Structure 1
Amino acid sequence: MPELYYTLFATLLDSSSDNIIVTDSEHCITQAGNGFLRFVGEEREALLGRPCYEYVLMEDVTDIEQALTEDKAWQGQLLLKDSCRNTILHEVMLRRIDVAGEVHQLWVMRPMESAGEVIEKYLQYDTLTGLPNRSLFIDRVEQAMINSQRQNKSVAILSLGIDGFSRINEGLGHDFGDRVLKEMGQRLQLTLRNNDSIARMGGDQFDCVVVMSSSNDGVIVTEKLLRTLKQPFDLDGQDINLTASIGISVYPSDGSDVGILIQQAESAMRHCKRTGGDSYQFFSHKMHDLAKRRIDVENGLRHALEQQEFVLYYQPKVDVKSGRIVGAEA
């Protein structure tokens, strides 16, 4: 049985992505996982028996020694030297283990994100859902377009908006609405194929980029997304039923500018919402012309109000029998 435990432990040690070592009472390395070997650039035979302090930098070990003496776990941050002798900050969990009457220490060490990595993640990913944001999505669409040119394929941009999502925020609160959006993002991501990408563009809008091997791939993915969202969201024992509207633009038939393609998909999505939702709509230039005309009319009316250009005319109301004016109407 001990041999079986040792084999299982060694397998876990080698399969973990963390940097893991086991040391003896003198803090010399007795076992090391593959992750640690790759990190320090050493062969296993050359590493075993060497003091761990050659790789793990510690100025004061008092707290660590006290925790191990009291058979408690120690957790903190330490610097490790990598294969290029650079020092990388790690989150470290250290625990005492007894094996066949001998005292050992298990070191589990995970590299911490650098400040630059944290900033980059903040700039490229949505903080609520963890999905790519608009900036990263644009990069992924551009890359998909480049790849599709080489392979003579098309790319579909799907813009998905939740029908009537504001009712959830108004009726159940924004915190509850945020939980729905997080659950929704996870569900949509699991629905997509491996080579498709999804992003949260803001609010209740999620956009997807789909590389199409056949002309109906965009429709197939769109219908899967709509079916997925129709399944109730169970939060705190409460079923939330949602539907969505999806607008679709296609590269290269609708254009080659990423910003315009995304705008076209969003325009088609809004048109779909106005016509009842729970469906999808391909972008058309007629749709664009109607939207532009509506904007022009609204802007013209607003300008006319500001410039006091409206004039009120009255139409007389005439008595048919006498021919006399008996009133007026606007």
Structure 2
Amino acid sequence: MIPNSQDNLVDIILNTVDDPMIVTDGHGVIVRVNRAFEDSFGWRAEEVKGKTPKILNSAKHDSAFFEELWQSLKADGFWEGHIWNRAKSGDELNTDCRIKAQLDDNGDVLYFVSRMKVEEIEESTGIRNHDQLTGLPDQHLFLDRLEQAIIAVKRVDKSVALLHIGIDHFSTINDGLGYDIGDELLKQVSQRLHDCMRGSDTVARVAGDLFSMALQVASIDDGVIVAEKVLKSIQTGFKVNGNNVNITASIGISLFPKDGETASDLVKLADSALHHAKKNGGNAYKFYAEDMNIKAKNRIEMEAAIRKGLENREFVLYYQPKVAAGTEEIVGAEALIRWQSPERGFMPPNDFIPVAEETGLIGDIGSWVLGEAARQNKAWQDAGLKKIRVAVNVAAPQFKAPDFIDCVLNALDNNDLDAQWLELEIVESMLMGNTDMTIKKLHEVRDIGCHLSIDDFGTGYSSLSYLTRFPITTLKIDRAFIKDLESDKTMAEISRAIIGMSQGLELEVVAEGAENLAHIDFLRENGCQTVQGFYYSKPLPADEFAALLKIGSIKHG
């Protein structure tokens, strides 16, 4: 069986494929199907899991056909050909089928993965559950998908957001330009909504100019992001049969389990929220629950405040010393952003960086941090202070941006700072995904001369073999392991292992979150070169850090 921890990821991957797919275990028992399978064959996932593909048998093929299929799979691990399958309705579907065996390290079959191309599906069962104008799922199929989403999130402790999307004043389009134009506009709207979807989402046309989206979400922000994306997409003008058409939309949002426990409850509540959104002038989204509207409003206000803060230079950097464990000399610093907002007061990064990442403002913030850290470090050097390396945190969206390397080069060149005095800190999860791109970009950073460290090491996915593929210079042990060193033997052993692994890879190791002498003694005894934490100093404004750097070390006792 596929591990439960991977359930959601496997579902997302399968549901990005438009063709029907079946995954069976090595004995031929069905463990997964995708939505395209459900749409084409009429079976729900819960109905087929635990059964075999024999439920699709159309009786058009004899036993010799299937014996040959299995012999091919056993010998080659692959089979391709035509199969007549039977849908739940009894309709027979002609499919081009490819089956591939997935083997483990011992050569034993873990799974069989089948992918089917269904010929003339429009004339079979698929069309019955789809809107004929747009090709999207209809109301009946959408309700089924919504119910499945509710079942799925119960297993992983997430939520479902239901978005009801209505075109504002759509009747004026039909009345003024004609129903042909109105229909073509609905087709284009459906495509834009489809483009706003993620892999696990469903969008449907449920009536007239009313569309619905079902989203599996981890937080309210996920629903807000999609709602804002939809509104912006619809606001962009349409070209319909030579006519320029500009429209807006309104969205009503209900949440499972906060607002309702069933699909029908969510539909009623989202409809009510949509009514209020339209009543208030349209071109907006509104949650059914008023406290959700307050949260969404706060998020919008936060985005505007961040933009204003960038324009008005309200952000500052604080610097936390990195100290040599053996000599207690200051050997580096981490630059940490703070926001001195006139309206909101002094704010740590956790209060605004997530919104900046979601809204695309992290690029502007990240570029400023790089430039300011480089400027300040060069200013300290010009003042005759000890040369140290200053580390800057890099967010995933910032790292993935096409101009990231240019931003690093500009920060160095504009401030005439040698690259060896700039360190970029990335988190483990950024090493996953597009590995070739990641490796290429990391090598470019190292070729420039900057140092690279993995922040919060031990909390993500890295392994010894994985780390050797990346040009990393430093590992930072996450504070979660350090804070419980005295009371938790497991944390102590993990910390020892990370220190030992770093030494084996000839990497510098930094322990963050060192808050007392016991932490320092443990880290010294186990060979950790550098420590960072409140035991030595909290993050300091630039002038206070400069005074500390002038002394050169931080002595205790």
**SS at structure 2 position matched to 1:216:** helix
State the distance in 1 between where 2:85 and 2:207 align: 43
Residue of structure 1 in register with 2:222 after alignment: 217
**Closer/same/farther in 2, CA of residues 172 and 214 from structure 1, 3 Å limit:** same
Residue 112 of structure 1 is matched in structure 2 by: 119
- 1:207 to 2:218 alignment: no
- The aligned runs of 1:5-44 (5 Å cut-off) are 41=69
Q: Which residue among 189, 192, 198 is the counterpart of 1:193?
A: 198
- Runs of 4+ off more than 3 Å: 40-43, 81-91, 110-114
**Which residue is 1:246 aligned to?**
251
Contact 1:82 1:88 survives alignment (8 Å): no
**Which of 162, 178, 182 in structure 2 is aligned with 1:177?**
182
1:82–1:264 distance in 2 versus 1, CA, 3 Å: same
Instruction: Give the direction of change, closer, same or farther, for the CA distance of 1:250–1:238 in structure 2 (3 Å limit).
Output: same
Q: Is 1:157 the counterpart of 2:162 in the alignment? A: yes
Stretches of structure 1 that go unaligned for 5 or more consecutive residues are 1-16, 18-37, 44-80, 92-109, 287-330
Give the 3-state SS of the residue equivalent to 2:220 in structure 1.
coil
- Aligned match of 1:168: 173
Displacement of 1:89 in angstroms is 6.1
Provide the rounded CA distance (Å) in 1 between the counterparts of 2:93 and 2:149: 34
TM-score, normalization: structure 1? 0.53
Residue 125 of structure 1 aligns with which residue?
Answer: 130
The 5-angstrom pairing of residues 1-330 of structure 1 reads 41=69, 82=82, 112-113=119-120, 118-284=123-289
Query: Could you say which residue in structure 1 is the equivalent of 2:355?
Result: none
Distance 1:173 1:211, change over 3 A: same
- Decide whether aligned partners of structure 1 residues 89 and 237 sit closer, same or farther in structure 2, where only a CA change above 3 A counts: same
Q: Give 1 or 2 for the bigger CA radius of gyration.
A: 1
Query: How far apart, in 1, do the equivalents of 2:126 and 2:206 lie?
Result: 15
Judge conservation of contact 1:129–1:181 (CA < 8 Å) in 2. yes
TM-aligned CA distance change 1:151 to 1:128, over 3 Å:
same
- Cα distance, 1:131 vs. partner? 0.2
Post-superposition CA distance 1:109-131 (Å, at most 9, x none): x86337xx735223210000000
- Indicate conservation of the 8 Å contact 2:83/2:94, yes or no: no
Counterpart for residue 10 of structure 1: none
CA distance in 2, matches of 1:201, 1:194: 20
- How much identity, in percent, do the aligned residues show? 41
- CA–CA separation in structure 2 for the residues paired with 1:85 and 1:154: 36
**Aligned-pair Cα RMSD in Å:** 3.3
Letter in 1 for 2:123: V
Deviations 1:126-164 (A, max 9, x none): 000000001010111111111100000011000000000
Q: What's the CA shift string for 1:191-243, capped at 9, x where partnerless? A: 11111110001100000001112231111110000000001011233211110
Quote the Cα distance in structure 1 between the aligned partners of 2:221 and 2:85. 53
Q: How many residue pairs end up in the alignment?
A: 195
Question: Matches of 1:158 and 1:124 in 2, distance apart?
Answer: 20
1:49 alignment partner in structure 2 = none
| 1:106 match | none
Opposite residue 148 of structure 2, the aligned amino acid is Q
CA contact 2:85–2:94 (8 Å) conserved in 1: no
State the shift of 1:275 in Å: 1.1
Q: Is the 8 A contact 1:157 1:249 kept in 2?
A: yes
Which 5+ residue runs of structure 2 have no aligned equivalent? 1-18, 20-65, 73-80, 87-91, 97-116, 292-557
Query: How high is the TM-score relative to the length of structure 2?
Result: 0.32
Q: Which amino acid aligns with 1:113?
A: E
C-alpha contact (below 8 Å) 1:159/1:206 kept by paired residues: yes
